[in-house]
Chain A
């Protein structure tokens, strides 16, 4: 009669995070700053994406003791990243009791053909997507939450906008298709037919859809909300900026009051230096993180 790990319970936690900001943190001290700023969850990782990009090397799941320390420090949900396809990292994160696993392209993929079978787990997963097909493949594998990939660690919102517009635009196109076109469309975008049908009928993804990858300012965050996303992940944008506590709080307010330009103007004042941004066309194509995922 009582059931744990159901899809309702998994996607339900994502529903509770809507309209909120999830912040990347590498230690307990940063997690505390995030919680005090009003973050709805924190994402534990060993290095923020900007550092992964700068330092190179293989990026892996965070050390368990770091994750436990963060879990013991804050009362909000704690998420942690596992490498694409690395189901054992995910098993370890489940054993630690983290609240959500991000199977993330920001870390170095462990499998270049397959993602984790997320149905095997009691804890929920969030995955990145650049378009509707990718989002529905991940949901088909059991993801209970989707985020845009954007281009992490750049402080440049352009890719997150591209991916959000792609997913939302494809949903609108699909809604206008007669049912006889759904199967061919499913084939075209490489998505399970049952999920294509579900999206066509509901006019939205069956799970919560957050923005991620390059969000650095309150304006960036509010723009993603106005485009129609459910909430925002901020990675390097906070702890690579001049004044993390102030910027974190401003981004939280911008996500709540995303359609009030006067409030946005107010919260955008006196934030100190934003993280230094990187233009996407200056990044060698093989170093783009968003292309990881199959």
Chain B
């Protein structure tokens, strides 16, 4: 079987870094700016950036409807930071008129950690990445930039990582998976660590879905 191509939504934000990470693990990639760019893809990454700007541009160029349809039909998508916000069903502190894609049955607090002065790097434990580590390690160095966090998840949503140092003490959720939808509040694409990209590539391979022209046309 021919290997899947993973698209990266390239309306705004850190899409170049995701493309580089995918290339580093030998995955074919494509920038997605218009609906036709979706056709044939096996998965899509929604990068970090400004969720308001990305959402508005997606709506303006007819991408929002096909993305909403794909997110609800088992198509693999991974959102980092702004992408996590866009994939969430419910978001607090949402700017007026901010479009969302939805699909992940989670409740997200936008800019949970505060402004830039509160942005940070830290070590997380992500057991789901252990199979992708040479030594079976779960530790992952994570970069959080004006980051959101997941306040609650519905049943059927797997929590992949919590941040223990969060003020709540119990640990706030920062990475989740629901079927083929993956979301991280932090930015694996800003580091050299490609384990999350390999984890997502596995979800894409397992889903065996391809965007066909009909889905794109029907949603438009």
Residue A123 is within 8 A (CB to CB) of chain B in the complex: yes
Residue A224 is within 8 A (CB to CB) of chain B in the complex: no
Residue B53 is within 8 A (CB to CB) of chain A in the complex: yes
Residue A192 is within 8 A (CB to CB) of chain B in the complex: no
* Residues in A whose Cβ lies below 8 Å from that of B14: 15-16, 18
CB 8 Å contact bits of A136-175 with B (1 = contact, 0 = none) = 0000000000000000000000000000000000000000
B120: min CB distance to chain A, Å: 5
CB 8 Å contact bits of B187-214 with A (1 = contact, 0 = none) = 1001000000000000000000000000
Asked if A19 and B49 sit within 8 Å, CB to CB, the answer is: yes
Which of A4-12, A57-65, A280-288 lies on the face that meets chain B?
A: A4-12
B192: min CB distance to chain A, Å: 12
Bound complex: CA A94 to CA B165 (Å): 24
* Residues in B whose Cβ lies below 8 Å from that of A74: 95
Asked if B165 and A256 sit within 8 Å, CB to CB, the answer is: no
* Residues in A whose Cβ lies below 8 Å from that of B144: 9
Asked if A15 and B17 sit within 8 Å, CB to CB, the answer is: yes
Which of B21-29, B111-119, B174-182 lies on the face that meets chain A?
A: B111-119
Which of A37-45, A106-114, A193-201, A238-246 lies on the face that meets chain B?
A: A37-45
Contact among B11, B13, B93, B146 with A77 in the assembled complex (CB-CB below 8 Å): B146
Asked if A16 and B13 sit within 8 Å, CB to CB, the answer is: yes
Asked if B57 and A253 sit within 8 Å, CB to CB, the answer is: yes
Bound complex: CA A100 to CA B145 (Å): 13
CB 8 Å contact bits of B12-53 with A (1 = contact, 0 = none) = 111111000000000000000100000000000000111011
* Residues in B whose Cβ lies below 8 Å from that of A253: 57, 60
Residue B143 is within 8 A (CB to CB) of chain A in the complex: yes
Which chain B residues in 47-71 approach chain A with CB under 8 Å? 48-50, 52-53, 56-57, 60-61
Residue A13 is within 8 A (CB to CB) of chain B in the complex: yes
Asked if A77 and B57 sit within 8 Å, CB to CB, the answer is: no
* Residues in B whose Cβ lies below 8 Å from that of A124: 116
Max chain B Cβ within 10 angstroms of own Cβ: one of A12, A35, A38, A75: A12
Bound complex: CA A9 to CA B118 (Å): 10
Asked if A122 and B53 sit within 8 Å, CB to CB, the answer is: no
Asked if B53 and A77 sit within 8 Å, CB to CB, the answer is: no
Contact among B13, B61, B120 with A4 in the assembled complex (CB-CB below 8 Å): B120
Given known pairs A76-B50, A76-B52, A253-B60, the reply for A12 and B12 (CB within 8 Å) is no
Asked if A99 and B146 sit within 8 Å, CB to CB, the answer is: yes
Asked if B11 and A256 sit within 8 Å, CB to CB, the answer is: yes
A93: min CB distance to chain B, Å: 10
A255: min CB distance to chain B, Å: 8
* Residues in B whose Cβ lies below 8 Å from that of A41: 50
Asked if A40 and B49 sit within 8 Å, CB to CB, the answer is: yes
Residue B82 is within 8 A (CB to CB) of chain A in the complex: yes
Contact among B53, B122, B145 with A12 in the assembled complex (CB-CB below 8 Å): B145
Using C-beta atoms within 8 Å of the partner chain, give the interface range for chain A: 35 or more
* Residues in B whose Cβ lies below 8 Å from that of A2: 120-122, 165
Main secondary structure, interface of A, reads loop
Asked if A13 and B116 sit within 8 Å, CB to CB, the answer is: yes
Given known pairs A9-B119, A15-B190, A123-B116, the reply for A38 and B97 (CB within 8 Å) is no
* Residues in B whose Cβ lies below 8 Å from that of A77: 50, 115-116, 146
Residue A54 is within 8 A (CB to CB) of chain B in the complex: no
B60's nearest neighbour on chain A, judged by CB, is A253
Bound complex: CA A204 to CA B120 (Å): 25
* Residues in B whose Cβ lies below 8 Å from that of A100: 116
Bound complex: CA A20 to CA B10 (Å): 11
* Residues in A whose Cβ lies below 8 Å from that of B60: 253
* Residues in A whose Cβ lies below 8 Å from that of B93: 75
Asked if B57 and A38 sit within 8 Å, CB to CB, the answer is: yes
Can you spell out 5 A-B residue pairs with CB atoms less than 8 angstroms apart? A8-B143, A19-B13, A20-B49, A74-B95, A257-B33
5 more A-B residue pairs beyond the given contacts A13-B116, A256-B12, A257-B61, with a C-beta to C-beta distance below 8 A: A2-B120, A16-B145, A40-B12, A75-B110, A76-B53
Which A residues lie at the B interface, using CB under 8 A?
1-6, 8-9, 12-13, 15-20, 35-36, 38-41, 74-77, 94, 97-100, 122-124, 252-253, 255-257, 260
Which B residues lie at the A interface, using CB under 8 A?
10-17, 33, 48-50, 52-53, 56-57, 60-61, 81-82, 93, 95, 97, 110-111, 115-123, 143-146, 165, 187, 190
